[in-house]
Structure 1
Protein backbone atom coordinates (compact mmCIF):
# COMPACT_ATOMS: atom_id res chain seq x y z
CA UNK A 1 0.00 0.00 0.00
CA UNK A 2 0.97 3.64 -0.31
CA UNK A 3 2.09 5.20 2.94
CA UNK A 4 1.33 8.80 3.86
CA UNK A 5 4.91 9.82 3.08
CA UNK A 6 4.66 8.50 -0.48
CA UNK A 7 1.25 10.07 -1.01
CA UNK A 8 2.59 13.44 0.10
CA UNK A 9 5.62 12.99 -2.19
CA UNK A 10 3.45 12.81 -5.33
CA UNK A 11 3.67 16.26 -6.98
CA UNK A 12 0.30 17.25 -8.39
CA UNK A 13 0.25 19.07 -11.71
CA UNK A 14 -0.17 22.74 -10.97
CA UNK A 15 -1.92 25.42 -13.04
CA UNK A 16 -1.83 26.94 -15.50
CA UNK A 17 -2.94 23.82 -17.36
CA UNK A 18 -4.14 23.45 -20.92
CA UNK A 19 -7.94 23.42 -20.76
CA UNK A 20 -8.02 20.47 -23.17
CA UNK A 21 -5.10 18.10 -22.56
CA UNK A 22 -4.44 19.20 -18.98
CA UNK A 23 -0.67 19.53 -19.39
CA UNK A 24 1.20 22.43 -17.78
CA UNK A 25 1.82 25.32 -20.14
CA UNK A 26 2.74 28.95 -19.82
CA UNK A 27 -0.03 30.99 -21.34
CA UNK A 28 -3.21 29.39 -20.04
CA UNK A 29 -6.17 28.33 -22.22
CA UNK A 30 -5.22 25.74 -24.86
CA UNK A 31 -1.61 24.76 -25.41
CA UNK A 32 0.07 25.00 -28.80
CA UNK A 33 -0.34 21.29 -29.53
CA UNK A 34 -4.07 21.38 -28.82
CA UNK A 35 -4.55 24.46 -30.98
CA UNK A 36 -3.25 22.57 -34.02
CA UNK A 37 -4.05 18.96 -33.10
CA UNK A 38 -6.74 18.97 -30.41
CA UNK A 39 -7.51 15.74 -28.61
CA UNK A 40 -10.68 14.04 -29.76
CA UNK A 41 -11.97 14.22 -26.20
CA UNK A 42 -13.86 16.74 -24.14
CA UNK A 43 -10.72 16.98 -22.03
CA UNK A 44 -7.99 15.03 -20.25
CA UNK A 45 -6.68 15.40 -16.72
CA UNK A 46 -3.87 13.72 -14.79
CA UNK A 47 -2.72 13.76 -11.19
CA UNK A 48 0.99 14.07 -11.80
CA UNK A 49 3.83 13.61 -14.23
CA UNK A 50 5.20 10.08 -14.72
CA UNK A 51 7.85 10.21 -12.01
CA UNK A 52 8.62 8.71 -8.61
CA UNK A 53 7.00 7.64 -6.39
CA UNK A 54 3.94 7.41 -8.65
CA UNK A 55 5.81 5.66 -11.46
CA UNK A 56 6.87 2.74 -9.25
CA UNK A 57 3.36 2.45 -7.82
CA UNK A 58 1.83 2.25 -11.29
CA UNK A 59 4.42 -0.32 -12.37
CA UNK A 60 3.76 -2.44 -9.27
CA UNK A 61 0.01 -2.36 -9.90
CA UNK A 62 0.21 -3.03 -13.63
CA UNK A 63 3.03 -5.57 -13.91
CA UNK A 64 3.81 -6.97 -10.45
CA UNK A 65 0.32 -7.99 -9.38
CA UNK A 66 0.15 -5.56 -6.46
CA UNK A 67 -3.57 -4.96 -6.88
CA UNK A 68 -3.89 -3.47 -3.38
CA UNK A 69 -2.42 -0.27 -4.81
CA UNK A 70 -5.55 0.26 -6.93
CA UNK A 71 -7.56 1.44 -3.94
CA UNK A 72 -5.37 4.39 -2.81
CA UNK A 73 -4.52 5.31 -6.40
CA UNK A 74 -8.20 5.27 -7.34
CA UNK A 75 -8.93 7.55 -4.40
CA UNK A 76 -6.28 9.94 -5.75
CA UNK A 77 -8.14 9.95 -9.07
CA UNK A 78 -11.36 10.76 -7.22
CA UNK A 79 -9.57 13.69 -5.57
CA UNK A 80 -8.36 14.84 -9.00
CA UNK A 81 -11.94 14.62 -10.30
CA UNK A 82 -13.06 16.96 -7.54
CA UNK A 83 -10.05 19.26 -7.82
CA UNK A 84 -10.65 19.78 -11.55
CA UNK A 85 -14.43 20.16 -11.11
CA UNK A 86 -15.21 17.36 -13.53
CA UNK A 87 -18.80 16.25 -14.03
CA UNK A 88 -19.71 12.70 -15.06
CA UNK A 89 -22.82 10.54 -15.07
CA UNK A 90 -20.87 7.34 -15.64
CA UNK A 91 -17.34 6.00 -15.14
CA UNK A 92 -15.81 3.52 -17.60
CA UNK A 93 -12.32 1.92 -17.44
CA UNK A 94 -10.20 1.47 -20.55
CA UNK A 95 -10.86 -2.20 -21.40
CA UNK A 96 -8.24 -4.86 -22.02
CA UNK A 97 -8.48 -7.35 -24.84
CA UNK A 98 -9.57 -10.77 -23.55
CA UNK A 99 -6.21 -12.31 -24.45
CA UNK A 100 -4.30 -9.67 -22.46
CA UNK A 101 -6.78 -9.98 -19.61
CA UNK A 102 -6.17 -13.74 -19.39
CA UNK A 103 -2.41 -13.17 -19.38
CA UNK A 104 -2.45 -10.51 -16.65
CA UNK A 105 -5.39 -11.84 -14.69
CA UNK A 106 -6.93 -8.43 -14.08
CA UNK A 107 -7.45 -5.04 -15.68
CA UNK A 108 -5.63 -2.38 -13.66
CA UNK A 109 -7.80 0.38 -15.17
CA UNK A 110 -10.94 -1.43 -14.01
CA UNK A 111 -9.57 -1.70 -10.47
CA UNK A 112 -8.73 2.01 -10.46
CA UNK A 113 -12.16 2.88 -11.83
CA UNK A 114 -13.85 0.75 -9.18
CA UNK A 115 -12.07 2.61 -6.38
CA UNK A 116 -12.64 6.02 -7.99
CA UNK A 117 -16.35 5.37 -8.65
CA UNK A 118 -16.95 4.07 -5.13
CA UNK A 119 -15.31 7.15 -3.62
CA UNK A 120 -17.30 9.55 -5.80
CA UNK A 121 -20.53 7.52 -5.67
CA UNK A 122 -20.80 7.62 -9.49
CA UNK A 123 -22.11 4.56 -11.38
CA UNK A 124 -19.42 2.29 -12.82
CA UNK A 125 -19.95 0.47 -16.13
CA UNK A 126 -17.47 -2.28 -17.02
CA UNK A 127 -19.44 -4.10 -19.74
CA UNK A 128 -20.28 -1.22 -22.06
CA UNK A 129 -16.95 -0.71 -23.83
CA UNK A 130 -14.92 -3.56 -25.31
CA UNK A 131 -11.55 -3.95 -26.97
CA UNK A 132 -12.14 -5.84 -30.18
CA UNK A 133 -8.59 -6.38 -31.39
CA UNK A 134 -5.10 -6.73 -30.02
CA UNK A 135 -2.63 -4.03 -31.01
CA UNK A 136 1.14 -3.90 -31.21
CA UNK A 137 3.06 -2.12 -28.45
CA UNK A 138 2.89 1.65 -28.66
CA UNK A 139 6.15 2.49 -26.90
CA UNK A 140 8.17 3.38 -30.01
CA UNK A 141 5.29 4.85 -32.04
CA UNK A 142 4.63 8.51 -32.82
CA UNK A 143 1.33 10.12 -31.87
CA UNK A 144 0.00 9.63 -35.41
CA UNK A 145 1.15 6.01 -35.49
CA UNK A 146 -0.52 5.36 -32.14
CA UNK A 147 -3.83 6.68 -33.44
CA UNK A 148 -3.59 4.48 -36.53
CA UNK A 149 -2.62 1.49 -34.41
CA UNK A 150 -5.75 1.92 -32.28
CA UNK A 151 -8.21 2.81 -35.02
CA UNK A 152 -11.35 0.71 -34.55
CA UNK A 153 -9.90 -1.13 -31.55
CA UNK A 154 -12.83 -0.32 -29.24
CA UNK A 155 -16.58 -0.69 -29.62
CA UNK A 156 -19.72 -0.34 -27.51
CA UNK A 157 -21.95 -3.25 -26.58
CA UNK A 158 -24.88 -2.76 -29.01
CA UNK A 159 -27.68 -3.92 -26.71
CA UNK A 160 -27.20 -1.18 -24.12
CA UNK A 161 -25.65 1.65 -26.11
CA UNK A 162 -28.61 3.99 -26.53
CA UNK A 163 -30.03 3.98 -23.01
CA UNK A 164 -26.62 4.00 -21.32
CA UNK A 165 -24.64 6.46 -23.43
CA UNK A 166 -27.02 8.86 -25.18
CA UNK A 167 -26.68 12.41 -23.82
CA UNK A 168 -24.56 11.16 -20.91
CA UNK A 169 -21.32 12.64 -19.57
CA UNK A 170 -18.73 9.88 -19.37
CA UNK A 171 -15.39 9.65 -17.57
CA UNK A 172 -12.82 7.15 -18.88
CA UNK A 173 -10.24 5.91 -16.35
CA UNK A 174 -6.74 4.67 -17.17
CA UNK A 175 -3.36 4.52 -15.45
CA UNK A 176 -1.06 6.45 -17.83
CA UNK A 177 -1.65 8.49 -20.99
CA UNK A 178 1.22 9.49 -23.26
CA UNK A 179 -0.41 11.03 -26.34
CA UNK A 180 -4.07 10.43 -25.46
CA UNK A 181 -4.50 8.02 -28.40
CA UNK A 182 -5.99 5.20 -26.33
CA UNK A 183 -8.50 7.49 -24.66
CA UNK A 184 -9.42 9.01 -28.02
CA UNK A 185 -10.00 5.54 -29.46
CA UNK A 186 -12.24 4.72 -26.49
CA UNK A 187 -14.14 7.98 -26.86
CA UNK A 188 -14.89 7.52 -30.57
CA UNK A 189 -17.62 4.84 -30.21
CA UNK A 190 -19.05 6.65 -27.18
CA UNK A 191 -19.43 9.88 -29.13
CA UNK A 192 -20.87 7.90 -32.04
CA UNK A 193 -23.47 6.47 -29.65
CA UNK A 194 -24.53 9.98 -28.63
CA UNK A 195 -22.46 10.75 -25.52
CA UNK A 196 -22.69 14.41 -24.57
CA UNK A 197 -19.12 14.57 -23.23
CA UNK A 198 -16.24 12.14 -22.77
CA UNK A 199 -13.40 13.05 -20.43
CA UNK A 200 -10.24 11.11 -19.64
CA UNK A 201 -8.70 10.87 -16.17
CA UNK A 202 -5.34 9.16 -15.58
CA UNK A 203 -2.81 8.87 -12.82
CA UNK A 204 0.15 10.21 -14.75
CA UNK A 205 1.37 11.67 -18.02
CA UNK A 206 4.97 11.80 -19.28
CA UNK A 207 5.86 15.47 -19.57
CA UNK A 208 8.63 17.09 -21.60
CA UNK A 209 9.30 20.56 -20.25
CA UNK A 210 10.16 23.28 -22.72
CA UNK A 211 10.46 27.02 -22.35
CA UNK A 212 7.49 27.51 -24.62
CA UNK A 213 5.32 24.84 -23.03
CA UNK A 214 4.44 21.31 -24.14
CA UNK A 215 4.97 20.52 -27.82
Structure 2
Protein backbone atom coordinates (compact mmCIF):
# COMPACT_ATOMS: atom_id res chain seq x y z
CA UNK A 1 0.00 0.00 0.00
CA UNK A 2 2.72 2.59 0.83
CA UNK A 3 4.34 1.78 -2.51
CA UNK A 4 1.06 2.52 -4.31
CA UNK A 5 0.75 5.86 -2.50
CA UNK A 6 4.29 6.82 -3.48
CA UNK A 7 3.65 5.77 -7.07
CA UNK A 8 0.45 7.85 -7.27
CA UNK A 9 2.20 10.87 -5.76
CA UNK A 10 5.02 10.52 -8.27
CA UNK A 11 2.47 10.29 -11.10
CA UNK A 12 0.72 13.42 -9.86
CA UNK A 13 4.03 15.28 -9.97
CA UNK A 14 4.65 14.08 -13.52
CA UNK A 15 1.17 15.23 -14.52
CA UNK A 16 2.01 18.74 -13.31
CA UNK A 17 5.24 18.81 -15.30
CA UNK A 18 3.88 16.95 -18.34
CA UNK A 19 0.06 17.25 -18.50
CA UNK A 20 -1.55 14.08 -19.86
CA UNK A 21 -3.80 13.93 -22.90
CA UNK A 22 -7.35 12.63 -22.86
CA UNK A 23 -7.36 9.10 -24.27
CA UNK A 24 -10.54 9.88 -26.19
CA UNK A 25 -10.36 13.46 -27.53
CA UNK A 26 -6.62 14.16 -26.98
CA UNK A 27 -7.28 17.41 -25.09
CA UNK A 28 -4.48 18.17 -22.65
CA UNK A 29 -5.09 18.07 -18.91
CA UNK A 30 -6.47 14.66 -17.93
CA UNK A 31 -6.18 11.03 -18.99
CA UNK A 32 -9.97 11.15 -19.50
CA UNK A 33 -11.30 14.69 -19.65
CA UNK A 34 -14.51 15.86 -17.91
CA UNK A 35 -16.19 16.51 -21.26
CA UNK A 36 -15.67 12.92 -22.44
CA UNK A 37 -16.78 11.56 -19.07
CA UNK A 38 -19.93 13.68 -19.29
CA UNK A 39 -20.62 12.32 -22.80
CA UNK A 40 -21.04 8.77 -21.47
CA UNK A 41 -24.68 7.82 -21.92
CA UNK A 42 -25.88 6.04 -18.79
CA UNK A 43 -28.57 3.40 -18.88
CA UNK A 44 -31.95 4.87 -17.98
CA UNK A 45 -34.76 3.06 -16.12
CA UNK A 46 -36.63 0.86 -16.16
CA UNK A 47 -33.81 -1.69 -15.85
CA UNK A 48 -34.12 -5.44 -15.50
CA UNK A 49 -33.50 -6.33 -11.85
CA UNK A 50 -31.11 -9.13 -12.82
CA UNK A 51 -29.21 -8.30 -16.02
CA UNK A 52 -29.44 -4.53 -15.53
CA UNK A 53 -30.27 -3.81 -19.17
CA UNK A 54 -32.84 -1.13 -20.01
CA UNK A 55 -36.25 -1.68 -21.53
CA UNK A 56 -37.75 -4.13 -19.04
CA UNK A 57 -41.49 -3.52 -18.88
CA UNK A 58 -41.66 -5.30 -15.52
CA UNK A 59 -39.04 -6.18 -12.92
CA UNK A 60 -37.45 -8.71 -15.28
CA UNK A 61 -36.74 -8.54 -18.99
CA UNK A 62 -38.05 -11.29 -21.28
CA UNK A 63 -34.65 -13.01 -21.41
CA UNK A 64 -34.25 -13.14 -17.64
CA UNK A 65 -37.81 -14.38 -17.20
CA UNK A 66 -36.92 -17.32 -19.43
CA UNK A 67 -33.29 -17.92 -18.41
CA UNK A 68 -32.04 -15.65 -15.60
CA UNK A 69 -28.33 -15.23 -14.98
CA UNK A 70 -26.90 -17.52 -12.32
CA UNK A 71 -25.79 -14.68 -10.07
CA UNK A 72 -27.50 -11.99 -8.02
CA UNK A 73 -27.36 -9.46 -10.83
CA UNK A 74 -25.20 -7.32 -13.12
CA UNK A 75 -24.95 -3.55 -13.36
CA UNK A 76 -23.11 -1.26 -15.79
CA UNK A 77 -23.00 2.50 -16.36
CA UNK A 78 -23.90 2.20 -20.04
CA UNK A 79 -23.70 0.39 -23.34
CA UNK A 80 -20.58 -0.67 -25.24
CA UNK A 81 -20.32 2.43 -27.41
CA UNK A 82 -18.19 5.57 -27.56
CA UNK A 83 -16.50 6.87 -25.55
CA UNK A 84 -16.53 3.77 -23.30
CA UNK A 85 -15.64 1.40 -26.13
CA UNK A 86 -12.42 3.20 -27.08
CA UNK A 87 -11.41 3.68 -23.44
CA UNK A 88 -11.91 0.00 -22.65
CA UNK A 89 -9.92 -1.06 -25.70
CA UNK A 90 -7.12 1.39 -24.83
CA UNK A 91 -6.93 -0.02 -21.30
CA UNK A 92 -7.19 -3.65 -22.33
CA UNK A 93 -5.21 -3.88 -25.54
CA UNK A 94 -3.10 -0.72 -25.87
CA UNK A 95 -1.44 -0.70 -22.46
CA UNK A 96 -3.02 2.55 -21.26
CA UNK A 97 -3.21 1.41 -17.64
CA UNK A 98 -3.79 4.91 -16.32
CA UNK A 99 -7.33 4.78 -17.67
CA UNK A 100 -8.13 2.36 -14.84
CA UNK A 101 -8.31 5.30 -12.42
CA UNK A 102 -11.12 7.37 -14.06
CA UNK A 103 -12.86 4.18 -15.22
CA UNK A 104 -12.65 2.77 -11.70
CA UNK A 105 -14.23 5.98 -10.44
CA UNK A 106 -17.02 5.47 -12.96
CA UNK A 107 -17.63 1.99 -11.53
CA UNK A 108 -17.75 3.45 -8.02
CA UNK A 109 -20.35 5.99 -9.19
CA UNK A 110 -22.42 3.16 -10.67
CA UNK A 111 -22.17 1.26 -7.37
CA UNK A 112 -23.73 4.20 -5.55
CA UNK A 113 -26.23 5.02 -8.30
CA UNK A 114 -27.62 1.48 -8.28
CA UNK A 115 -27.54 1.27 -4.46
CA UNK A 116 -25.37 -1.85 -4.54
CA UNK A 117 -24.06 -3.42 -1.33
CA UNK A 118 -20.90 -5.51 -0.98
CA UNK A 119 -18.53 -6.73 1.71
CA UNK A 120 -15.68 -7.54 -0.66
CA UNK A 121 -14.52 -6.58 -4.16
CA UNK A 122 -12.75 -9.03 -6.49
CA UNK A 123 -11.64 -8.81 -10.14
CA UNK A 124 -12.29 -11.45 -12.76
CA UNK A 125 -8.94 -13.29 -12.79
CA UNK A 126 -6.93 -13.97 -15.93
CA UNK A 127 -5.36 -17.32 -16.63
CA UNK A 128 -1.63 -17.25 -15.91
CA UNK A 129 -0.72 -17.67 -19.58
CA UNK A 130 -2.80 -14.69 -20.67
CA UNK A 131 -1.55 -12.65 -17.74
CA UNK A 132 2.03 -13.26 -18.86
CA UNK A 133 1.17 -12.32 -22.45
CA UNK A 134 -0.62 -9.07 -21.54
CA UNK A 135 1.51 -8.19 -18.54
CA UNK A 136 -1.42 -7.07 -16.39
CA UNK A 137 -5.06 -7.82 -15.64
CA UNK A 138 -7.23 -4.87 -16.66
CA UNK A 139 -10.05 -6.12 -14.42
CA UNK A 140 -7.73 -6.08 -11.42
CA UNK A 141 -6.65 -2.50 -12.18
CA UNK A 142 -10.32 -1.47 -12.36
CA UNK A 143 -11.14 -3.35 -9.15
CA UNK A 144 -8.25 -1.72 -7.28
CA UNK A 145 -9.40 1.75 -8.30
CA UNK A 146 -13.07 1.04 -7.61
CA UNK A 147 -12.44 -0.56 -4.20
CA UNK A 148 -10.23 2.37 -3.20
CA UNK A 149 -12.98 4.85 -4.11
CA UNK A 150 -15.60 2.84 -2.22
CA UNK A 151 -13.27 2.11 0.72
CA UNK A 152 -14.14 -1.58 0.45
CA UNK A 153 -11.72 -4.47 1.00
CA UNK A 154 -10.25 -6.00 -2.15
CA UNK A 155 -9.06 -9.55 -2.75
CA UNK A 156 -7.10 -10.53 -5.83
CA UNK A 157 -6.53 -14.11 -4.66
CA UNK A 158 -10.02 -15.23 -3.65
CA UNK A 159 -10.60 -17.14 -6.88
CA UNK A 160 -8.26 -18.20 -9.66
CA UNK A 161 -8.69 -19.43 -13.20
CA UNK A 162 -7.75 -23.07 -13.52
CA UNK A 163 -7.93 -23.38 -17.29
CA UNK A 164 -7.82 -21.00 -20.21
CA UNK A 165 -10.92 -21.24 -22.39
CA UNK A 166 -10.58 -20.93 -26.17
CA UNK A 167 -11.54 -17.65 -27.81
CA UNK A 168 -15.26 -16.98 -27.40
CA UNK A 169 -15.82 -14.50 -30.23
CA UNK A 170 -17.78 -16.92 -32.43
CA UNK A 171 -19.62 -18.74 -29.63
CA UNK A 172 -23.28 -18.43 -28.72
CA UNK A 173 -24.35 -17.67 -25.15
CA UNK A 174 -24.99 -21.35 -24.42
CA UNK A 175 -21.62 -22.35 -25.90
CA UNK A 176 -19.85 -19.71 -23.80
CA UNK A 177 -21.38 -21.06 -20.62
CA UNK A 178 -20.28 -24.58 -21.50
CA UNK A 179 -16.85 -23.27 -22.50
CA UNK A 180 -16.37 -21.65 -19.07
CA UNK A 181 -17.90 -24.35 -16.91
CA UNK A 182 -15.54 -25.07 -14.02
CA UNK A 183 -13.02 -22.46 -15.24
CA UNK A 184 -12.73 -20.78 -11.82
CA UNK A 185 -12.08 -22.11 -8.35
CA UNK A 186 -11.74 -20.66 -4.87
CA UNK A 187 -8.18 -20.76 -3.59
CA UNK A 188 -7.44 -23.30 -0.87
CA UNK A 189 -6.82 -20.72 1.84
CA UNK A 190 -10.36 -19.34 1.47
CA UNK A 191 -12.60 -21.77 3.32
CA UNK A 192 -16.36 -21.94 3.26
CA UNK A 193 -16.38 -20.26 6.67
CA UNK A 194 -14.56 -17.17 5.37
CA UNK A 195 -17.14 -16.65 2.59
CA UNK A 196 -20.25 -17.62 4.52
CA UNK A 197 -22.99 -14.99 4.07
CA UNK A 198 -20.58 -12.54 2.41
CA UNK A 199 -21.72 -10.19 -0.37
CA UNK A 200 -19.19 -10.29 -3.20
CA UNK A 201 -18.79 -7.72 -6.00
CA UNK A 202 -17.03 -9.02 -9.14
CA UNK A 203 -15.43 -6.36 -11.36
CA UNK A 204 -14.86 -6.78 -15.11
CA UNK A 205 -14.58 -4.49 -18.13
CA UNK A 206 -17.39 -5.75 -20.37
CA UNK A 207 -20.24 -8.21 -19.92
CA UNK A 208 -21.78 -9.64 -23.07
CA UNK A 209 -23.73 -12.77 -22.12
CA UNK A 210 -22.78 -12.92 -18.45
CA UNK A 211 -21.11 -16.32 -18.87
CA UNK A 212 -17.79 -15.21 -17.35
CA UNK A 213 -19.45 -13.61 -14.33
CA UNK A 214 -21.63 -16.70 -13.84
CA UNK A 215 -18.56 -18.94 -13.94
CA UNK A 216 -16.83 -16.73 -11.34
CA UNK A 217 -19.92 -16.68 -9.13
CA UNK A 218 -20.41 -20.46 -9.08
CA UNK A 219 -17.52 -21.33 -6.71
CA UNK A 220 -18.34 -18.31 -4.51
CA UNK A 221 -21.94 -19.45 -4.05
CA UNK A 222 -20.70 -23.00 -3.44
CA UNK A 223 -18.43 -21.65 -0.69
CA UNK A 224 -21.36 -19.98 1.06
CA UNK A 225 -21.54 -16.44 -0.36
CA UNK A 226 -24.94 -14.84 0.25
CA UNK A 227 -24.90 -12.65 -2.86
CA UNK A 228 -22.61 -12.27 -5.86
CA UNK A 229 -23.03 -9.23 -8.10
CA UNK A 230 -21.22 -8.22 -11.26
CA UNK A 231 -20.22 -4.61 -11.91
CA UNK A 232 -18.80 -3.84 -15.36
CA UNK A 233 -18.09 -0.74 -17.41
CA UNK A 234 -20.30 -1.58 -20.37
CA UNK A 235 -22.79 -4.02 -21.82
CA UNK A 236 -23.54 -4.45 -25.54
CA UNK A 237 -27.24 -3.82 -26.00
CA UNK A 238 -27.52 -6.29 -28.87
CA UNK A 239 -26.21 -9.22 -26.80
CA UNK A 240 -24.84 -12.20 -28.71
CA UNK A 241 -26.49 -13.39 -31.91
CA UNK A 242 -27.04 -17.08 -32.56
CA UNK A 243 -23.65 -17.54 -34.20
CA UNK A 244 -21.44 -14.51 -33.56
CA UNK A 245 -20.54 -12.10 -30.81
CA UNK A 246 -17.98 -9.64 -29.53
CA UNK A 247 -16.39 -11.58 -26.69
- TM-score of Structure 1 vs Structure 2, range by shorter chain: over 0.9
Instruction: For residue 140 of structure 1, report the CA deviation from its aligned partner.
Output: 1.1
Matches within 5 A, 1:12-91: 12-91=42-121
Q: Is the 8 A contact 1:128 1:161 kept in 2?
A: no
Which residue does 1:182 correspond to in 2? Answer: 212
Number of aligned residue pairs:
209
* TM-score after normalising by structure 2: 0.83
Q: Is the 8 A contact 2:56 2:62 kept in 1?
A: no
Find the structure with the greater CA-based Rg: 2
Structure 2 counterpart SS, 1:158: coil
Q: Is the 8 A contact 1:39 1:180 kept in 2?
A: yes
Could you tell me which of 124, 145, 150 is aligned with 2:180?
A: 150
Aligned-partner Cα distance in 1 for 2:142–2:164: 22
More divergent stretch after superposition (162-171 vs 134-143): 162-171
Structure 2 unaligned blocks of 5 or more? 1-30, 240-247
Q: Is the 8 A contact 2:193 2:224 kept in 1?
A: no
Structure 1 unaligned blocks of 5 or more? 210-215
Aligned-partner Cα distance in 2 for 1:199–1:161: 20
* TM-score after normalising by structure 1: 0.95
Instruction: For residue 163 of structure 1, report the CA deviation from its aligned partner.
Output: 3.9
Aligned-partner Cα distance in 2 for 1:125–1:197: 16
String of CA shifts for 1:109-149, please: whole Å, max 9, x gaps. 00000000000000000011100001111111100000000
Tell me if 1:8 matches 2:52. no
Aligned-partner Cα distance in 2 for 1:207–1:180: 13
Higher RCO, 1 vs 2 (CA within 8 Å, ≥6 residues apart): 1
Query: RMSD in angstroms over aligned alpha carbons?
Result: 1.0
String of CA shifts for 1:177-206, please: whole Å, max 9, x gaps. 000000000000000000000000000000
Instruction: For residue 25 of structure 1, report the CA deviation from its aligned partner.
Output: 1.3
